[in-house]
Chains A and B, each alone.
Chain A
Amino acid sequence: MTKTYEKYYVPAQSPWPIVGAVALFLIAFGAGTYVNEVTKQQPGFGGYMLAAGFVVLIFMLFGWFKNVIDESMSGLYSAQMDRSFRQGMSWFIVSEVMFFMAFFGALFYGRVIALDWLSGGSNNAMTFEILWPNFEAMWPLLKTPGGIETQAMPATGLPLINTAILVLSSITLHFAHTGLEQHKRGQLKLMLLVTLLLGATFLGLQVYEYIHAYRDLGLTLASGFYGNTFFLLTGFHGMHVTLGAIILLFVFLRVLKGHFTPEKHFAFQAAAWYWHFVDVVWLCLYVFVYVI
């Protein structure tokens, strides 16, 4: 072992973590209160607290990332530090995958087991006879045992276009990356901008689809298991696209400021990983929520 190790940078004291903890407190307490106020239509402080939490969180993120970027730009970070960031981001994405797995798992269980058993499958003949003898298992679940009816979201049309948009955005992001690695700053900026616009278009179309679902199809959050899984999976995906787009926006602004080199561009890399991950989630989602 003759390899020499650079000194690992351990930051000095920082106020941002405790600010972040206060932000999460405001968000959690505010949201917990607000949910009750909204569903019971009572006035209260929950909404303000929630909003204040997000303001503090954004303030914290700006401050924290400013410190990190300054440290990075002044050359304090060794290759080892860079590996820490990369591994940290990778494991964060693993945890995100598992978050989506919970909802996919619910979807599979509902389709394959719960609906089958409700219609008398396995050893549940009596359950079926006694509870809802007229219930018919189908997917999409257009009529719940309780009798709520809805229409299904088609797989063609808008969702297919959205799939194409998101896949395309992953490809353009890849070319932005190669542009960065090959010193082609023009290609980097252009491709990153295109990626951002594609992401925004995807989100716009998604909002349009939701309006269509609620207004024309009668497909809502409350229209049974199909509506639940549809809105929670696409909804959480949409939130992740939003977050990914915000991250990419800041990466884009940093590119405009001349940050990142072909050798060192962790922030770009992390944003790209995140974007590709969100893309892969969409592909699974498109197959299991829309197509099959």
Chain B
Amino acid sequence: MSAVVTDHEHDHEHHDHKPSGIKRWLYTTNHKDIGTMYLVFALIMFFIGGAMAMVIRAELFQPGMQFVEPNFFNQMTTVHGLIMVFGAVMPAFTGLANWMIPMMIGAPDMALPRMNNWSFWILPFAFLILLMSLFMPGGGPSFGWTFYAPLSTTYSSDSTALFVFSVHIMGISSIMGAINVIVTIFNLRAPGMTWMKMPLFVWTWLITAFLLIMVMPVLAGVVTMVLTDKYFGTSFFDAAGGGDPVLFQHIFWFFGHPEVYIMILPAFGIVSAIVPTFARKPLFGYASMVYATSSIALLSFLVWAHHMFTTGMPVAGALFFMYCTMLIAVPTGVKVFNWVATMWRGAMTFEVPMMFALAFIVLFTIGGFSGLMLAITPADFQYHDTYFVVAHFHYVLVTGAVFSIIAAAYYWLPKWTGHMYDEKLGQWHFWCSLISVNLLFFPMHFVGLAGMPRRIPDYALQFADFNAFISIGGFLFGASQLIFVWVLVKCARGGEKATAQVWEGAEGLEWQVPSPAPYHTFDTPPVIK
């Protein structure tokens, strides 16, 4: 990365006044405001979804039924999943994209600023509908976030229609957001910002946006079929009418697997930004990172049925999906290798963003390895629908995606607020999170391998000790995130002044504008040589 800004003018004389009051947020077309709203929304959703996880862990603290009815327990697992995927992780990444991509490529704003605002404001309404459905007679969605038919058709509650339409508008929001990102990157790069000079965060988001455009409409299609099957007598997923419940799983996972990468590729971009900064070395193997990201995205379209090994598919199909899945380990291995090689003989320091990035590399790799175990078809027959799967995807999503988002927040907070965050509190947040998250998710591997099924409010006695342990880890992890809020509030309100570059080893356009970044950056594009 040898991007050098020569003639950018970030004068904040006349055009840096922000509109005031509530209208600033309701009517805004500013990518920074919209990015902030996305991030705050994601944080609120993270706590709502987290509260549901606390309910789940409280119920599972002991065998037997303690606090909630089984039906309500199922609603908690379902809505926890939906909120964390669509309400926390995805909006958080979109918020980071909004804030950072225009600054990283020298654009004045996102390409379609009004649509950008629309994309955001759909989300609070969509989740309002989803949360209100919990209070309907019969309860909210209780069929798991994957809403397999016939659980979501024949056996679901009346609120299913609300679930379907709220997913529809979430999808509209995601597609518009993705179109905005992709057009911004294609069309608004500053002169000289060639493809292979783009920061990796921009590259990974470009590919993520492509995946979103390809698969969110498929999700819209499958929820529509659920709607018509439940309410209008179609039989897409009903064998009596010539359909097949397994068809649901095929369409859902054709969306669902790329969706998993939608939630991790931007994380790769974040880690690829943070590691070089704190190792004070350029990223090792930049081009191979770009190709690895693209390969992962392409492979993501060929592996969906590895979620369905136990549905009784022909052996040839199972083998195809098994081998394709294992192939993903290659580009992922390239990435982990490159991060480690970047740190090799670097002048490393260990500020909070770097700590979270390092934890990401180690713990995400654990999640990747358990993924490889799950990819082995005959072994998956044992692991399928157990806590081993829960452990696997929480390692990639919590210690993967969520840790990367937290790392990104610490890394760019000084740029957003103009103040340094409290390093000591941040370190507390990191260590509390790191220890509790492993108490929480690591033992799940063991109970899963021993056969404890997921999505069950009660369990056999031999799992009792591990589950008590896991629940304690869960409560601690939940409590640790309160430190994060404390850090964020404290940093927004004041603190040590941040310089433009913020971090000694930071490179790129976003570190050449002042901190806090002016309301409008790059009215005329900078020239990158």
Do chains A and B interact in one complex? yes
| A interface with B by C-beta (< 8 Å) | 1, 3, 5, 7-8, 10-18, 20-22, 24-25, 27-29, 31-33, 35-36, 39, 64, 80, 83-85, 87-88, 91-92, 94-99, 101-103, 105-106, 109-110, 113-115, 117-118, 122-123, 131, 141, 144-146, 148, 220-222, 224-228, 231-232
B161, A87: Cβ atoms closer than 8 Å: no
Known: A27-B169, A91-B182. 17 other contacts (CB 8 A): A10-B109, A14-B27, A14-B117, A25-B169, A29-B162, A32-B165, A33-B162, A80-B188, A84-B187, A87-B186, A88-B115, A88-B183, A102-B221, A102-B225, A114-B243, A131-B239, A228-B234
A8, B314: Cβ atoms closer than 8 Å: no
Complex Cα distance, B183 from A80, in Å, reads: 11
Contact mask for chain B residues 178-198; partner A; CB cutoff 8 A; 1 contact, 0 none: 111011001110011000000
Complex Cα distance, B217 from A98, in Å, reads: 6
Interface residues of chain A: helix, strand, loop or mixed (majority) = helix
A8, B241: Cβ atoms closer than 8 Å: no
What is the minimal beta-carbon distance from B454 to any residue of chain A, in angstroms? 27
12 contacting pairs across A/B (C-beta < 8 A): A10-B520, A12-B29, A13-B19, A16-B118, A29-B165, A32-B164, A88-B112, A103-B225, A110-B244, A115-B242, A118-B242, A123-B314
A17, B254: Cβ atoms closer than 8 Å: no
Q: Which of A20, A84, A106, A114 is close to B225, meaning CB atoms less than 8 Å apart?
A: A106
A14, B114: Cβ atoms closer than 8 Å: yes
| B interface with A by C-beta (< 8 Å) | 19, 23-24, 26-29, 107-109, 111-115, 117-118, 121-122, 124-126, 128-129, 132-133, 158-159, 161-166, 168-169, 172, 175, 178-180, 182-183, 186-188, 191-192, 213-218, 220-222, 224-225, 227-228, 231-236, 239-244, 246-247, 250-251, 254, 312, 314, 520, 523-525, 527
For A111, give the chain B residue with the smallest CB separation: B242
Complex Cα distance, B169 from A21, in Å, reads: 9
A228 with B236, Cβ < 8 A, contacts A3-B191, A88-B179, A105-B251 known: yes
Complex Cα distance, B220 from A5, in Å, reads: 39
Question: B234: which A residues are within 8 A, CB to CB?
Answer: 221-222, 227-228, 231-232
Complex Cα distance, B239 from A110, in Å, reads: 10
Question: A141: which B residues are within 8 A, CB to CB?
Answer: 242
B121, A21: Cβ atoms closer than 8 Å: yes
A92, B179: Cβ atoms closer than 8 Å: yes
Q: Which of A28, A36, A102, A115 is close to B218, meaning CB atoms less than 8 Å apart?
A: A102
What is the minimal beta-carbon distance from B232 to any residue of chain A, in angstroms? 6
What is the minimal beta-carbon distance from B197 to any residue of chain A, in angstroms? 12
Complex Cα distance, B107 from A83, in Å, reads: 15
Q: Which of B23, B162, B241, B524 is close to A145, meaning CB atoms less than 8 Å apart?
A: B241
A144, B235: Cβ atoms closer than 8 Å: yes
Complex Cα distance, B254 from A98, in Å, reads: 11
Complex Cα distance, B24 from A35, in Å, reads: 36
Most buried by A among B28, B132, B232: B232
Complex Cα distance, B236 from A232, in Å, reads: 11
B221, A18: Cβ atoms closer than 8 Å: no
For A145, give the chain B residue with the smallest CB separation: B240
Complex Cα distance, B164 from A231, in Å, reads: 19
B217, A102: Cβ atoms closer than 8 Å: yes
A1, B312: Cβ atoms closer than 8 Å: no
Complex Cα distance, B20 from A13, in Å, reads: 11
A10, B179: Cβ atoms closer than 8 Å: no
Question: B314: which A residues are within 8 A, CB to CB?
Answer: 122-123
B162, A32: Cβ atoms closer than 8 Å: yes
For B312, give the chain A residue with the smallest CB separation: A123
What is the minimal beta-carbon distance from B233 to any residue of chain A, in angstroms? 3
